[in-house]
Amino acid sequence: MQKVGKILVADDNQDLLKSLKRLLKFDFEEIDTTSEPNKIPSLIKNKDYDVILLDMNFNEGDNSGRDGFKWLRRIKEIDQSLVVILITAYGDIDIAVKAIQEGATNFITKPWEPQKLIVTIQNAIEISKSNKELTSLRRKNKYYEADRNLITNPIIGQSEVVRNLLKMIGKVAITDANVLILGENGTGKELIAKEIHKKSKRNSEVFLHVDLSTLNEGVFESELFGHKKGSFTDAKEDKIGKLEAASDGTLFLDEIGNLSINLQAKLLTSLQSKEFTPVGASKPQKYNARIICATNKNLKQMVQDQLFREDLYFRINTIEINSPALRERGEDIVLLVEYFLNKYSYKYNKQGLKMNEKALVSLKEYKWPGNIRELSHTLEKAVILNEDAIIKSEDLFGNQMQRFDIKPSTLDLETLERNAIEKAIADSKGNISKASKLLGISRTSLYSKITKHGL
């Protein structure tokens, strides 16, 4: 039988410590001992103990239990869920009962019967396990609630490219393989990640989304790994990181191509070891989240340009999925228009809206540099502004059609992207935050594209 349970014994009697270590080593995984109670805080911060055996009196001739109460309170301050069994003399039972009222789980009296002691510790380990599970569940609860309340658009389409995409998702979902989703902005990379999660064995657990482009050097570790109270100026309380919160579920790391080399190294270390260490803590914690990453960047080229670590690239893309651009699946336009028109008609209480034929043709002919996100935004705006129950081409685009009316001989993604950025900046009167929202990308990405196009 595999031995389980990490035990810390704190007592000033060296002979007792040696005796307990000899007795317990046959039934439990690990037994540490100390005769110096001031070492208890550092020991429990550096190792995840299941049970602590704590002497009530560390000074010879003192039977008041004062030391025991002091160190019991200190242990509970560090970790309220830790299970403490008190070691006491027979005559100190009243003190032990009082200590239980202050948070101890049980007590044992000297001398003890070996088998009874072992059973007491085994029961305490079960309590410890339950405490840890309950604590983890409480800390993760806010993430579960946010996930449950999140409304997700379905993957819509009947084109061959979408059918192949859904087939790939079905194959990948039943595994726990790391997935890298590549595609332009607005193509629905997050929808693909959620569909993988929904069809996986983890679908009853949480799905968490982290936009890595918004995390700078200062907050990356706190966001992903969590932090301990007091670890930095604004750390007013312990914070659970996304890796821990997503354990048993799925963690979606979006915009991974925006991570600096330094942060890539920290992420790689965690992915390789399946561990993380909260900021301000000294002992690592295991996690069991499935990792799905996404980016609109060419990671292979970034690897060649030494902008992205090759070892991280291979770590995150056991399976690579391409999210198709809307121009590659034009036959799905009608289905998507129908879906978004119904969605926004209901949202803004304008049921019965219709679209005339010219408007539908203009939607089909437009090349959608912003992909499905742009289509969704265009239809929502048209529904909001419509006054006569019929959506026309000018309701959809206004003067934008002239701006994007590029001859096929000059139609390329770079030109479309530049025009889209120029239009968004003009409509936002130079406000980069508003322009980035119109385009459906982060401020960081927009600044990068402005530099790229020399705008």
To the nearest 10°, report the CA torsion of 34, 36, 41, 42.
-70
Q: Please give the backbone phi and psi of residue 319, each rounded to the nearest 5 degrees, phi first.
A: -125, 135
What are the distances in angstroms from CA 109 to CA 20, 77, 386? 13, 25, 81
Report how far residue 327's alpha carbon sits from residue 371's, in angstroms, rounded to the nearest whole number.
8
Structure tokens at 5: 């349970």
- Per-residue pLDDT, 406: 40
pLDDT digit string (tens) for the chain, length 455 residues: 577 889 999 998 898 899 999 999 888 989 999 999 899 988 988 888 889 999 888 877 666 778 888 888 888 888 877 899 888 776 566 776 777 777 888 888 888 888 888 998 988 888 888 777 666 665 555 555 555 544 566 899 999 999 999 999 999 999 999 999 999 999 999 999 999 999 999 998 889 999 998 888 778 999 999 888 778 877 777 788 899 989 899 999 999 999 999 999 999 999 999 999 988 888 888 999 999 999 999 999 999 999 999 999 999 999 999 999 999 998 999 999 999 999 999 999 988 888 999 888 889 888 898 899 999 999 999 999 888 889 988 888 765 544 444 444 345 667 778 778 888 887 777 788 888 888 878 877 887 788 777 77
- Per-residue pLDDT, 413: 67
- Per-residue pLDDT, 450: 80
- Per-residue pLDDT, 402: 41
- Per-residue pLDDT, 13: 87
> What is the DSSP code string of 39-87?
GHHHHHHHS--SEEEEES--STT--S-HHHHHHHHHHHHH-TT-EEEEE
- Per-residue pLDDT, 138: 57
Report how far residue 291's alpha carbon sits from residue 273's, in angstroms, rounded to the nearest whole number.
13
Report how far residue 110's alpha carbon sits from residue 286's, in angstroms, rounded to the nearest whole number.
37
Structure tokens at 388: 């006569």
pTM: 0.65
Structure tokens at 328: 């590659």
- Per-residue pLDDT, 404: 44
Please name the residues in contact with 359: beta carbons below 8 A apart, sequence gap of 6 or more: 391, 392, 393, 395, 396
Structure tokens at 240: 């659970």
Which domains are seen in the chain, by residue range? 6-134 (3.40.50.2300), 160-322 (3.40.50.300), 325-399 (1.10.8.60), 406-455 (1.10.10.60)
- Per-residue pLDDT, 129: 82
- Per-residue pLDDT, 136: 62
- Per-residue pLDDT, 374: 92
